[in-house]
Structure formats: structure tokens, C-alpha cells
Amino acid sequence: MDLPAPRPDADAVPCRVVEFAMRDGAVLVADLYGDDTGPRPVIVERTPYGRRRTDQSERYLGMAAPLPREAVAARFVAEGFLYLVQDCRGSGASAGTFQKYVQEGPDTADTIAHVRAAPWCDGFVGMTGFSYGATCQTAGLAIGEAEPDAVIVDCGGFLNAWASGVRQGGTLALKQATWAHAQALREARAAGDTARAEALAREDVTAWLARGPWCAGHSPLEAAPAHRDNLAAFWQNGALGDFWRRPGLWLDRTALAALPLDALFITSWHDTSLANVVAIYQACAAGARRPSLIIGPWSHGERHTAVSGETDFGAAAIPENGLGASLIDIRAGFLAACRAGTPPAQDVRYFEMGGGSGARLASGAIDHGGRWRTAPALPPPGAATHRLALCGSRLLSPPEGDTRRTFTADPDDPVPTLGGAINSGAPVMEGGMWDQNALFACTEEDGEIRCARPDVLVFATPPLADDLHLAGPVRAEILLETDRPDIDLAIKLIDWYPDGPALNLSDGILRARYRDGGEAPALIAPGEPTRLTVTANPVAALVRKGHRLRLDIAASNFPQFDVNPHTGGPEGVPGPRVPARITVLSAPGRPSTLTLTTTEPTP
């Protein structure tokens, strides 16, 4: 049953409940904020989390809690807009069955069409939305029907959910599992279903993840079958096919470039959305209506603080300080400018991490620092490729000597996650930047670097002779041999302070069966040299003179990604797991390499 509209007091923004029937007859419910003195431009936001609540993305500098929904509405209404917030299908007061991501294309297009035809709309429809709300926007763009005039895609959305966000390099991002359990629990509690909520709360999600894939009959989501089955489908559909090429999970680059809309994209270096948001921005930038992009150093939506993980990026990291305004003011100002026909300058504002002392501050966080940079594109014009070869335990250019380093990967004892581009992982895992020495401390003897975990190979440059500015893609091409038909290869790029912390900059992973692309999975011939290209998340960082760049290589990163059983069997179903012996190879004639994007600092 729906709640009544909030009762306004003398200073409150007027609000009323509106309903729209979707193309299949399902009725979705929304709150419409603002007066009805005449047609107005309208901002639409769609959410599965309850239209009356807000999240961490609406918490700003100096605030102990997020702005309430009424205060968010007041900010947009002050710019002359009506503001409509809708419960997604199967959530809140809206009818229908929730089917994650793929329902949002038609529902977003239908909602925009209804809004644009309403007597209270003057024809202009903009959209905003954080995380899942951003995915609603990009799913609507994929439909190619009723399209908004302007969008603010904030830390969400997919160009290719198989490549990043749901799966990554063929592995499953287990934030999908932690999200499904947390959302099922929220829904049960919101519905007052005590028995279902208690059943879900009793489940040990960490232990369940260690047991392998979740599916019907083997899942902590038996009390929430819709979420169980949505997740199982993501887990079991390993190959890139029609399942993934659907609106909500996929966008066509050419069609995206042709869309006549203004767009602002927002993400951060420690956000699961990073790769997709940058890719969507780049696709839009190929068109005539160039978009804008903001990339900060934050964890998912945590823009009120300069700390992500255990690392402090300095006061400038907070938008009010470094960008001159809060994110709600930036969003409201962008949409108002688009409505006036004068969208803001089309540029990329990105935070270059690094330059601090590496010392522990009084707060306990690590002083890493950073600064905002502005460029017309990402990577910035003039960026160059910097390639280093794996030589012994070194990263060198040019390569020297032959390398043959072997480790054993045990799927029952996977390499643990410590930070990275993660959201919705609580209470199992946390994203952000962390000192890797806590789990992956290294020793160096006779020029050889060894990690405390024998199933992690470490490669590092000598201390840098000059500052190094990174701004763009990260990729490793690794030649290896293994005794199993399928393995994963996980990489992590690290800024290694002299006698100080080792801070994660970027990570990536590849399931070997997808080394030739998602459409053509192929198992490895045991013992045959095989080259794997692992794409990590892009990064912008200043690595100071005297620091070392470090590359860690392992066969797992758990629980950020699911663990490969090394059998070559079907994905997404429980089964046997066996260790794999993996040898990394490199020689001057056929080197294993790390490729970085470097640039001179921009103003």
C-alpha cells in the first residue's frame, strides 16, 4: 500500500502522488514536487530503494546525514523545475516484479513519455540519479524511444555489463551477490515481513560466498527467489551473447554518439561504475554534443569526505573545496544551464591522486594527497604509452633476461581483496585505497622481491628517477603456462612508498577461457604457453620520484570476484575445485608487459 504524500508545512515544497501505467499495464508510483501554477521543466529520478529516502550521495561537506528527499526536491524546484521521484517496478509502491537492470529501459522510456505529455510539463525532461538511478537513465537511452533532453549519470550505468560492473573479464563481480542479499533484506523489512527478514538476516553471506556459486537450492536467497534467480542468471551466463546485449546491460556506441542530449557523467577511481561511466562518456564524446565528466577519488557516493578506504586525499578532494560547489549544486546548475540552452563547458575534471607524505595523520588515515586536473578528453591530449617488461621480480624497460616464476593457486584459499573499485560490498568487503602491506608485505633479498603470500607474484620498478603522471588505461599482457584448463589472472597496480605504504591504484582480472573475447570461450591446453591480456581500471595518479611502481599478480581477488575452480566446467553452479600451478614467463623476445598511460600534468 502506498504512503500518502508528505504533508507540507508553510515552508515545504508542495508534493503529490502521481501514477503512470507502463506499456504492459503495470502502474508505477511517483512523488511530484513543486507547485502547479503552470507548465514547468521536469527532472525525473527513478530508484528501487524507496522514493522517500536518499542515500550517501546526498551527504555533503559538514553534514552528519544525507539531505532528506524534500530538501533535494527543494534544490531543484528553486531552479524552476518540477522534480519527480519514482519507485522502480516491483519496489516501493510500484506494481510488477523486479528484474534487475533489464526492466528499466522500457519503464524509463514510458515514464519520460508520460511526463512529457503531462499538462504540468513544458516539454523539457531532464534526468538525474545515483548508482542504480544512473543505470535507469542509460537503460532508457538504449531503448531509442522517448529520450530525455539532458542526463546526469552519477556512478552507474552500463555500456557493457559483461565487461565491467556485473561480470569483469569473465568473472562475476560478487558485489552483485552482496547487493542482492542486502536488497532482499531491505525489501522484507520495508514490507513488514518479519519471517522473511529474519530468515535472510540469519544467513552468513561471507560463508556462502566461500562455498561458491549461488543458485536455486544452494543460496542464502531462498527466501527471496526473484533476487536469487536474477543473480543466478548473471552467474551462469558466462559467455557474451544475447543475454548481455539487452537494454539495461548494453549500449550501442554508434547510437549513443548520435543522441541529441546534453550529459554530465560522474564517477570515481574507487567505484564499480568507473570503467562503464568512462566508456559511455567516450562514446558520447564521439558525437556532436560533447559531454562533461567528473572523476573524483571517493568511495561510492562518499563525496562529503576526503578519505576513501584508509587514505586521505586532502581537503581539495571534497567537491565544495576542489570544484567550488557541492554535487547537488553542480547537478542543479548543469540542468538549469541545459534548460536555458547554455550547457556548461564540455571538459573532463579528474582528480590526480598522490603527492602526499605517506605518513599516518592524527585521524589514522594515510596522507596521500592529490589535485584536480582539467582536460578536454580522457586520456588527455598528448598522453603517451609507457611499457615495462616483467624481468625477474622487476619492471624494466627495455627487458633484461629470461623470467620463469611459478606459484600454486588454491581456490579453497583465495587471495583476499583489500580495497579497489567496489561498492555494495558491505559487510563482506570495502572499496577504496588501502595499504597493501597489511596483507601483502614484501621482502627483498639479492634483488628479488617476495610477497608474504606465496601465491602472489610481485614485480616492481627501481625507485623512480622522476615524477610519473598516470592518466588513462592500464593493461598487462602476461605469458604463462598452467596445468589446468581454466584459471583467472588478477593484477593490481600499486604506488609503493619508500619505507612506507603500498597503495592500490587500479586492479583488473581475466578468466582465461575468455582470453579471445567473451563470444568465444576456449579452454587452455595444459602446459602450452598462453598469452593473457588483463585490462585494469583506468587511473590518474602522481607517483613521486623515489617511489616504485608495483604490479602484483595472483589467480584470485576474493571476494571482489568469484573464484575459478580450475576445472573448466560450467559456470555458476557448485562443483569440485582443484589447485592450479601457474608459471609466468617473460623474455626479451616475448616479454610479459605492463602498459600504462602517462601524461604531463595539465593545469
What is the per-residue pLDDT for 601? 67
pTM: 0.96
Is the distance from CB of 432 to CB of 299 less than 8 angstroms? yes
CATH topology assigned to domain 384-598:
Jelly Rolls (2.60.120)
Q: What is the separation of C-alpha 445 from the centre of its chain, rounded to a whole number of angstroms? A: 38
CATH architecture designation of domain 15-166+244-375: 3-Layer(aba) Sandwich (3.40)
Q: Considering only CA atoms, which of 430, 532, 517, 548 is closest in space to residue 481?
A: 532
Domain ranges in the chain are: 15-166+244-375, 178-236, 384-598
C-alpha span between 591 and 585 (Å, rounded)? 8
First and final C-alpha spacing in the chain: 54
What is the per-residue pLDDT for 447? 83
What is the per-residue pLDDT for 8? 42
State which residues of the chain have pLDDT below 70. 1-11, 601-603
Q: Residue 264 is placed in which grid cell?
A: 554530465
- The alpha-carbon radius of gyration of the chain (Å, integer) is 24
Could you give the angle at the alpha carbon of 199 between the alpha carbons of 193 and 201, nearest 5°? 95
What is the per-residue pLDDT for 2? 46
Determine how many CB atoms are found less than 10 A away from the CB of residue 446: 4
Contacts of 465 (CB under 8 A, 6+ apart): 545
What is the per-residue pLDDT for 7? 43
C-alpha span between 266 and 224 (Å, rounded)? 32
What is the per-residue pLDDT for 446? 84
Task: Outline where DSSP puts E strands in 115-192.
Answer: 121-127, 150-154, 167-168, 171-172
